Amino acid sequence: MAHEHLRLGVNIDHVATIRNARGGPHPDPVRAAHVAAEAGADGITAHLREDRRHISDDDINHLARTLSELGLPLNLEMAATDEMLAVALRHRPRAACIVPEKRAERTTEGGLDVAGGRDHLAPVVGLLSEAGVRVSLFVEPDPYQLDLALAIGAPVVELHTGAYCDAPAGPVRDREFSRIEGAAAHAASIGLECHAGHGLGFDTVSDIAAIPTIVELNIGHFLVGEAIYVGLNAAIREMRRLMNEARHET
Ligand code: PXP
């Protein structure tokens, strides 16, 4: 089967986390975006959280300018709030991924409840789409959530791979993998573009990358951690190599 090119979106949030630990300008996520571009990233992902714990409004301003110079798309991860909608409509990034956000969580802990949130998600999807932003909804690998995503007009879903990545090797991980594989096939069958991400590392990326209907992976925390040992460029290149190998791309 011919596989579509699998894009790698590099999430640079945790470059900002390290910077913010000291409050100064170093390390700069914009420099990380330059390195990611050199290393072959297909896009940069950044999550502007309500509490601004990592990426700041200034980062988004600088990233938007730099990425348009580099010709690299920005994928803005955002909660479906009025404040974030205003930011997204001001910048009009190439893509926006709508995520649930709870103040107390350490990271995005689960996918969106599209059924429960339908009434406030649908207008956000509509306004972003009208502004030319390609909207994805971050959801659990559950066909019901995918059907609802389609029903409210989202062209793309991003499947949450966290439970798969956290599971120990064995039956639990196998079950989580089957859920992702099934959801990715379902997405394609109903005409949704399918992305995946959260928690992926060198030991978990290959099986996910081999799923042919997934066309984009968004990966951050592992790459920034690995960069401490080998550098960001080398970490991204190795991730890209594993993705290509799984996809039989050169
Ligand atoms: N995709 C989404 C929607 C996310 O919220 C995150 C985390 O910000 C990621 C992908 C990347 O996850 P990780 O940093 O664990 O690679």
Q: What is the mean pLDDT of residues 7-14?
A: 98
Say how many Å lie between the first and final Cα of the chain, rounded: 16
Residue 130 carries which side chain, given as an amino acid letter? E
Q: Check residues 108 and 46 and name the one with the higher pLDDT.
A: 46
Instruction: Give per-residue burial for 142-180: e unless 16+ CB within 10 Å, then b.
Output: beebbebbbebebbbbbbbbbbbbebeeeeebeebbebb
The Cα–Cα gap between 105 and 134 comes to 26
Using CA atoms, how far apart are residues 115 and 147, in angstroms rounded to an integer?
A: 10
Residue 110 confidence class, pLDDT cut points 50, 70, 90: confident
Mean pLDDT of the 54-66 span: 97
Alpha-carbon distance of 18 to 106, in angstroms, equals 15
Closest to 209 measured CA to CA, from 233, 176, 171, 241: 241
Q: What b/e readout covers 78-93, taking b as 16+ CB neighbours within 10 angstroms? A: bbbeeebbebbeebeb
Residue nearest to atom 1 of ligand 1 (CA): 197
Ligand 1 atom nearest to CA at 11: 11
- CA 180-115-81 angle, to 5 degrees, is 100
Quote the ligand 1 centre to 110 CA distance (angstroms). Answer: 11
Task: Give me the long-range contacts of 85-92 (CB less than 8 A, separation at least 24).
Answer: 85/124, 85/127, 85/128, 87/48, 87/57, 87/60, 88/128, 88/131, 88/133, 89/127, 89/128, 89/131, 91/60, 91/61, 91/64, 92/131, 92/132, 92/133
The response to whether residue 42 sits with its C-beta less than 6 Å from ligand 1 reads no
Residue 1 — very low, low, confident or very high, per pLDDT cuts 50/70/90?
very low
pLDDT at 77 over 60: yes
Residue 158 has pLDDT above 60, yes or no: yes
- Mean pLDDT value across the chain: 95
Residue 211: count of CB within 10 angstroms of its CB: 22
Token duo for residue 194: 């399918």
Q: Which domains does the chain have, with CATH numbers?
A: 7-247 (3.20.20.70)
Query: What count of other Cβ atoms lies within 10 Å of the Cβ of residue 191?
Result: 8
Q: Is 158 helix (H, G, I), strand (E, B) or coil?
A: strand
Residue type, 212: P
Q: What is the pLDDT of residues 181-219, one digit of tens each?
A: 999 999 999 999 999 999 999 999 999 999 999 999 999
140 Cα to the center of ligand 1, angstroms: 13
Pocket test for ligand 1, best of 48, 105, 221 (most atoms within 8 A of CB): 221
Ligand 1 close to Cβ of residue 13 (< 6 A): yes
- Statement: residue 103 has pLDDT above 90: no
| pLDDT tens per residue, range 116-143 | 999 999 999 999 999 999 999 999 999 9
